[in-house]
């Protein structure tokens, strides 16, 4: 078991200190850089909190589509399986084999939402997507 605070908690604390204590003291020419760092910390915090769930969900959808198992437990095996299945998906899309396929449209939308959930959740909320 890991000690507390967790990595996500530490990143949140660092981001809050940056935003509340340091950013207001930065000269205007460095403010954009400080905001970029705060945004990167927020993205990392959300990615850590989500864990492997987005990748596992994506793998599950693709494996189901192509009739494969989902035994890639994580790490490099998971990334390798996702890369292989996504290459197959791309080839099928380019060849026109999936034109009009609602299942694939739902998969692509879900994958995009998962990515935006980590990178820009405010955008999703502004669109009524949670």
Q: What is the pLDDT along the chain (130 residues), one digit of tens a residue?
A: 667 888 889 999 999 999 999 999 999 999 999 999 999 999 999 999 999 999 999 999 999 999 987 776 667 888 999 999 999 999 999 999 999 999 999 999 999 999 999 999 999 999 999 7
Phi, psi of 5 (to 5 degrees): -75, 155
Judgement on whether residues 45 and 72 belong to the same structural domain of the protein: no
The neighbour count for residue 61, using CB atoms within 10 Å, is 20
Judgement on whether residues 42 and 83 belong to the same structural domain of the protein: no
Structurally, the chain folds into a number of domains equal to 2
Judgement on whether residues 24 and 76 belong to the same structural domain of the protein: no
Judgement on whether residues 74 and 41 belong to the same structural domain of the protein: no
User: Would you call 27 exposed, middle or buried from its count of C-beta atoms within 10 A (0-12, 13-18, 19+)?
Assistant: exposed
- Residue owning tokens 């437990």: 73
Helices (H) and strands (E) in the chain, counts: 6, 0
CB 34 within 8 A of CB 18: yes
Judgement on whether residues 27 and 85 belong to the same structural domain of the protein: no
Single pTM value for the model: 0.81
């Amino acid at each position: 078991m890991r000690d507390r605070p967790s990595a996500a908690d530490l990143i949140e604390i660092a981001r809050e200190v940056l935003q509340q204590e340091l950013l207001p003291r930065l000269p205007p020419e460095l403010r954009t850089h400080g905001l970029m760092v705060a945004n990167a910390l927020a993205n990392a915090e959300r990615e850590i909190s989500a864990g492997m769930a987005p990748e596992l969900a994506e793998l599950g959808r693709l494996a189901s589509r192509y009739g494969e198992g989902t035994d890639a437990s994580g790490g490099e095996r998971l990334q390798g399986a996702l890369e292989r299945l996504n290459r197959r998906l791309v080839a099928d899309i380019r060849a026109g084999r999936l034109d009009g396929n609602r299942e694939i449209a739902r998969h692509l939308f879900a994958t995009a939402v998962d990515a935006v959930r980590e990178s820009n959740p405010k955008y999703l909320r502004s669109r009524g997507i949670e």
